[in-house]
Amino acid sequence: MHRILTSTALGLALIGACVVSPVTADAASRRVVRPNAEGGTTATAIVARRGPQGGAAVRGRGVKTDGAGNATVASAAAVRGPDGATAARAGTTTRNADGSLQHRSGLTAQGAKGTLQSSGSASRDADGQAVQSRTTSATSATTGNSAQTTTSYNSADGRSRSTTCFDAAGATIACPARP
């Protein structure tokens, strides 16, 4: 699995470097599928696109299976808008032969209005019991104020959510009412 993540990250970095160069709109992709030493298959795919107005996107995905019914998927993507806004996400999911599952993912975005960061994880055991958590933070470029929301879920207790807001100095403030 480490090799898939390394290959995906390296491919994204290399293609991302190419995406930055100023050229006309175009796209490139590469896909590789091959048997692996664990008795399964390893597949990778990378796609890059450039827009005529300076936007660009690159994404990659790797899948690895073994002969015992286990599989792991790793994916990542990065985009840049013509206005300079950027976003990136990455995640991995592993499914084991016994039906258990583990997932981790995160994203970050930045633009003229502010920044956003989110990360989380989820898992399910072989009996179907699930646990999930995610933390998301957003910061306004105008005011410097921010909000952090944490959500969690487990099969026994259900879902919970809490949001805390902060001013630019980091002091807790009342969250604005939703429209």
Rounded to whole angstroms, how far apart are CA atoms 37 and 66? 8
24-to-73, 78, 79 alpha-carbon distances in Å: 32, 19, 17
pTM: 0.80
The per-residue pLDDT for range 139-162, each reduced to its tens digit, is: 999 999 999 999 999 998 999 999
Q: Residue 10 has what pLDDT?
A: 44
Domain that includes residue 120, residue range: 105-179
- 87 and 8 assigned to the same domain: yes
Final residue belonging to a domain, choices 73, 97, 121: 97
Do 134 and 151 meet the contact criterion of CB atoms below 8 Å apart? Answer: yes
Final residue belonging to a domain, choices 97, 129, 147: 97
Q: How confident is the model at residue 25 (pLDDT cuts 50, 70, 90)?
A: low
Q: Residue 179 has what pLDDT?
A: 67
Rounded to whole angstroms, how far apart are CA atoms 65 and 70? 6
Q: Residue 72 has what pLDDT?
A: 97
User: Which residues have a Cβ under 8 Å from the Cβ of 169 and sit 6 or more positions away?
Assistant: none
- 72 and 32 assigned to the same domain: yes
Handedness of CA 22, 23, 26, 27 (dihedral sign): negative
